Chain A
Amino acid sequence: MNDLIKILFRLQRFIIFIILELICLYLLIQNNNIHRSSFLSSSNYVSGVLYDFKTNVSNFLDLKSTNKLLLEENTRLKNKLLLFKTNIVDTSLSHRSFKYRSANVINISVNRTKNYITIDKGSKDGIKPEMAVLSHDGIVGLVINVRSHFSTVLPIINPTFSISAKIKRNNFFGSLSWNNKSYREAVLKEIPFHAKVNIGDTIVTSGYSSIFPKEIKIGTISNFQHQDGDNFLDINVKLIVDFKQLKTVYIVENLNKEEIKTLENETTND
């Protein structure tokens, strides 16, 4: 027994090393789960405040270009408004199915194997997990972790993200995910090879989901190929959102989500 204790004592450095490495691996493997424990994420308060400060500084320097973007969007919306001027009954609030909130991006990574975004809105602003995140161009990702003032977003450029997407011109739909290499590109799978596809075709969300609104732009086809014997095409998509330039995002809540979910559950239980 004494010898055993002596041996253990001599090996204490090695044992502590192994224990700490196991803790690290445990954290790392848990991280593969989308709904991972959030106690160490950058939506926590201290790093949130620090990144908030960083964003304040860099946002100030970008004010000019942000202003320009907002002006452009404003003009576009005003033009659309003219079309609706003739409407007498305002049904936009009682019949809408999506609610938009805006948020600022305070931290983003684009060149990791697993990228995440941190935004400055949290549960106090009504953000919940599994809400869609859009920019003024198109799809950004999906809210996964929510704290009181900050939340983390799973962007398209993360290997665990995938979304149902379709080719706008002919409505063929498939599933879109990141190509794990460049932050500007994704791959669209499950498009049958007889579908007529052109370079430059727009890819939009299919709307077959209770999270993402229908017909939101994702990107354009940059190239495609068909391998012999394969029933499906390999399509490369150039993403419309430039994640390096991302400053503000919209968080979209589907107000009918509960109803859709209950209905689908009832049907599958029958």
Chain B
Amino acid sequence: MISIHRYLIHTIIIILLQVLIINNIQVNPLINPYIYILIILVLPFKINKTSLIFIGFLFGLIVDIFSDTYGLHAAATTLLAYVRPNLINLAYTKDSFEDGSYPSIRLMGFLMFILYIFLGTFVHHFSFFLLEVFSFNSFHITITKILLNSVLSSICIILYYLIGFKHKR
């Protein structure tokens, strides 16, 4: 169970981390991981599916404002929020959810959690990088970007999760 203000604090930390630090680490033109989608991935199981889409859209729009990309992040996060229930069905097979429980290593198991994070990241990055170039020219570069960054973002997201989302025992 995560209270709503803990979600808000994590949201602010992650957005600042993304726009002020990660977007400025420019090792290689191919590499730019996006970790802010973690917030959408760890919202509670029982959240209303329609409001989830709106949250995804708003969240992407905030990142857009900071990175001058006008709807690019928003399009990708809206898609992620739309398919999230299907991803959860895939990775977490139990029928009933406790109130306020959220996708976590404790509930899903380590492997299933990694699979869930990777699939979510892949959906987001796939739509994001395709929309960014807006064409199928030089598709091999785009697909390299998608795969490379999906792996990298997943690793960063799981690291942040392990540090930031310790549950109380």
- Do A and B share a complex? yes
- The answer to whether B67 touches A40, judged by C-beta atoms less than 8 angstroms apart, is no
Residue A13, interface by CB 8 Å = yes
Neighbouring A residues of B70 by C-beta, 8 Å: 27-28, 30-31, 36, 40-41
- The answer to whether A17 touches B65, judged by C-beta atoms less than 8 angstroms apart, is no
Neighbouring A residues of B133 by C-beta, 8 Å: 113
Q: How many residues of A contact B (CB 8 A)?
A: 36
- The answer to whether B67 touches A109, judged by C-beta atoms less than 8 angstroms apart, is yes
What's the Cα separation between A17 and B23 when bound, in Å?
27
Neighbouring B residues of A27 by C-beta, 8 Å: 64, 70-71, 74
Among B32, B61, B78, contact of A21 (Cβ-Cβ < 8 Å): B78
Give the shortest distance, in Å, between B140 (CB) and chain A (any CB): 14
Give the shortest distance, in Å, between A169 (CB) and chain B (any CB): 31
Neighbouring A residues of B79 by C-beta, 8 Å: 17, 21
Give the shortest distance, in Å, between B168 (CB) and chain A (any CB): 32
Give the shortest distance, in Å, between A148 (CB) and chain B (any CB): 17
Residue A23, interface by CB 8 Å = yes
Residues of A22-48 contacting chain B, CB below 8 A: 23-28, 30-31, 36, 40-42, 44, 46-47
- The answer to whether B65 touches A40, judged by C-beta atoms less than 8 angstroms apart, is yes
Residues of A146-181 contacting chain B, CB below 8 A: 152, 181
Scan B112-146; emit 1 where CB is below 8 A from any A CB, else 0.
Answer: 00000000000000000001111000000000000
Residue A182, interface by CB 8 Å = yes
Residue A99, interface by CB 8 Å = no
Looking at chain B's contact residues, the main secondary structure is helix
Give the shortest distance, in Å, between A265 (CB) and chain B (any CB): 32
- The answer to whether B71 touches A110, judged by C-beta atoms less than 8 angstroms apart, is no
Give the shortest distance, in Å, between B153 (CB) and chain A (any CB): 15
Give the shortest distance, in Å, between B64 (CB) and chain A (any CB): 7
- The answer to whether B53 touches A13, judged by C-beta atoms less than 8 angstroms apart, is yes
Among A20, A47, A50, A110, contact of B53 (Cβ-Cβ < 8 Å): A20
Residues of B33-90 contacting chain A, CB below 8 A: 49-50, 53-54, 57, 60-61, 64-72, 74-75, 78-79, 82
Among A42, A54, A112, A181, contact of B132 (Cβ-Cβ < 8 Å): A112
Neighbouring A residues of B74 by C-beta, 8 Å: 20, 23-24, 27
Given A28-B131, A113-B132, also A17-B78 (CB < 8 A): yes
Residue B29, interface by CB 8 Å = yes
Neighbouring B residues of A181 by C-beta, 8 Å: 29
- The answer to whether B49 touches A24, judged by C-beta atoms less than 8 angstroms apart, is no
- The answer to whether A21 touches B26, judged by C-beta atoms less than 8 angstroms apart, is no
- The answer to whether B82 touches A17, judged by C-beta atoms less than 8 angstroms apart, is yes
Neighbouring B residues of A40 by C-beta, 8 Å: 61, 64-65, 70
Neighbouring A residues of B32 by C-beta, 8 Å: 111-112
Residue B159, interface by CB 8 Å = no
Please name 8 further chain A to chain B contacts, defined as beta carbons within 8 Å, in addition to the given A24-B72, A112-B69, sorted by A numbering.
A16-B50, A24-B78, A25-B71, A25-B75, A40-B61, A40-B70, A46-B65, A113-B132
What 8 A-B pairs come out closest when comparing CB atoms?
A27-B71, A24-B75, A24-B71, A31-B70, A111-B29, A28-B71, A27-B70, A17-B82
